[in-house]
Amino acid sequence: MSEAKSLLNSFFDALVSAVYPRKCPVCRRVSGAIPCARCGQSLVRENFRFELPLPLVDEVRAFYSYEASAAELVKALKYRRETSLVRFMSNEMHDLFLAWDPEIDTIVPVPIHRSRLSWRGFNQASSLCERLPSHLVGQDLVRIRRTMPQVKLTPEERSANLVGAFRCPSDIVGKRVLLVDDVFTTGATANECAKALKEAGASWVGVLVFAVRRR
Ligand SMILES: [Zn+2]
């Protein structure tokens, strides 16, 4: 980019910020940084790592507990479509991925149904893969039916709600798969995805999420 063009872009950004001051999507304070310094500092990396009694998911990793600011970030992205958070959150996913360094063949964002995609305009799980190795990110899972939002259901209803919701059309026999999502609470979504992946031959399914519900 030429210097003049870059100066013009900076001027335009400054003008937009002056007319529409950017607000932290978590606390709504005017802030240059997204999230603001105060919300950023309230996020504490806890390095969750567990193998669960879930039969199909092999391992789960997350930096954050799904509470306080971390939960607010997840909700702001997913329900309020605050895509300005993608840069920060995908950087965190990248750091976690590097810290874990799992041996994997493919990365699969948890898909959302096309009707929800057209309403939201983006898939938050795919957005969180933005800084992961792009040559590994595939679309090996498809959501073949629409389901109720999990957040409105009890743990028992969550599992039933998702039965048969995903399908893996790819050849992944013997492959190690990293599933990516924003949050892991009961594990029902990850487990149902892992079921489809393992039925298609995956040998291992790990889960990388921004936040987990504390156990
Ligand atoms: Zn804030």
Please state the domain extents for the chain.
Answer: 1-41, 43-212
CA 167 to ligand 1 centroid distance, Å: 38
User: 179 in helix, strand or coil?
Assistant: strand
CA 132 to ligand 1 centroid distance, Å: 26
Cα distance between residue 23 and residue 29, in whole Å: 5
Closest to 74 in 3D by CA, of 85, 84, 63: 85
CA 48 to ligand 1 centroid distance, Å: 24
Cα distance between residue 86 and residue 77, in whole Å: 8
User: 145 in helix, strand or coil?
Assistant: coil
pTM given for the model: 0.87
Q: Determine how β-strand 48-50 pairs with β-strand 59-65.
A: antiparallel
pLDDT tens for the 215 residues of the chain, in order: 567 777 777 777 666 666 777 899 888 899 989 999 999 999 999 999 987 777 899 999 999 999 999 999 999 999 999 999 999 999 999 999 999 999 999 999 999 988 888 889 999 999 999 999 999 999 889 998 888 888 888 888 888 888 888 999 888 999 999 999 999 998 999 999 999 999 999 999 999 999 999 88
Residue 175's alpha-carbon distances to 77, 80, 100, 153, 164, in angstroms, are 31, 35, 18, 32, 21
Cα distance between residue 131 and residue 125, in whole Å: 12
CATH 3.40.50 fits 43-212, yes or no: yes
CA 39 to ligand 1 centroid distance, Å: 4
Contact 176, 104 (CB under 8 A): yes
Cα distance between residue 67 and residue 105, in whole Å: 32
CA 86 to ligand 1 centroid distance, Å: 15
Contact 102, 156 (CB under 8 A): no
CA 199 to ligand 1 centroid distance, Å: 43
pLDDT digits (tens, 9 = 90+) for 44-102: 999 999 877 778 999 999 999 999 999 999 999 999 999 999 999 999 999 999 999 99
> What residues contact 89, with CB distance under 8 A and at least 6 apart?
73, 77, 127, 128, 182, 210
Residue 161's alpha-carbon distances to 7, 70, 114, 156, 210, in angstroms, are 52, 26, 17, 9, 23
